[in-house]
Amino acid sequence: MKKKFIIISSLVACITLFYVEQLLAVNYFVKTLVKIVLFTVLPYIYIRYIEKTSVRESLNLKRLHRRDLKIGVVFGIASFLIVLITYYFLNDLIDVEGIVYELENKSNITPRNFIIIGLYITFGNSFLEEFFFRGFIFLNLYKHKSKTTAYVYSSLLFALYHIAIFMTWFNIWLIGLALLGLVVIGFIFNWLNTKSNNFFNSWIVHIFADVSIILIGLRMFKLI
């Protein structure tokens, strides 16, 4: 029951977000509201009514030590550098004007609101995704003796979830490369969280990676 709920509910959530992103073509604010509802309500239902415990206990927030998070900082700095270096070498293959046009006309993300949205992406959205993909999906499957399923399913879903965001940005080869990279990142994030038994290590790395992406976005919008 527990494993089925985690897999089915998370899959439905990501399919819904794909529909909202690609078919409804709503602005960023609406997409964010839908994501917040799906990524918080479904885990809460599981924790409260299926696992029958508290959020703090379920996510192992009672035993949070700074020494357990040092590895997250190290990997975070590495991810920051890797993203910037990758962008530097693949910049010529990216349709920057097309991405900016889509952000402005489809999601209503403009140079005027990009910094505010960037702050939310860096700290709010990253927290939401790590809470959902690592805290809810991975760690719950992992502790219920489904370690292989936990690693593979959460990493694949994390990668496929991002297709709705960048499927129109890149050519097929870059999309494939991005998906492969996201699967690998998912495995690494999952492994990091086994060190602390909560999702904060991967959240730290996610923040560092998003900071580098926001810097790239600032350059695309010619703000720096």
* pLDDT at 57 (0 to 100): 75
Residues 9 and 141 sit within 8 Å (Cβ to Cβ): no
Count how many domains the chain has. Answer: 1
Tens of pLDDT, residues 151-209 = 999 999 999 888 777 666 666 777 788 788 889 999 999 999 988 888 999 999 999 99
Tens of pLDDT, residues 82-95 = 888 888 877 776 66
As a whole-number percent, the residues of the chain with pLDDT over 90 amount to 39
Tens of pLDDT, residues 65-116 = 677 788 889 999 998 998 888 888 777 766 667 666 666 766 677 788 888 8
Q: What is the mean pLDDT of residues 25-54?
A: 89
* pLDDT at 58 (0 to 100): 72
Residues 86 and 177 sit within 8 Å (Cβ to Cβ): no
* pLDDT at 95 (0 to 100): 60
Range(s) of the domain holding residue 131: 2-220
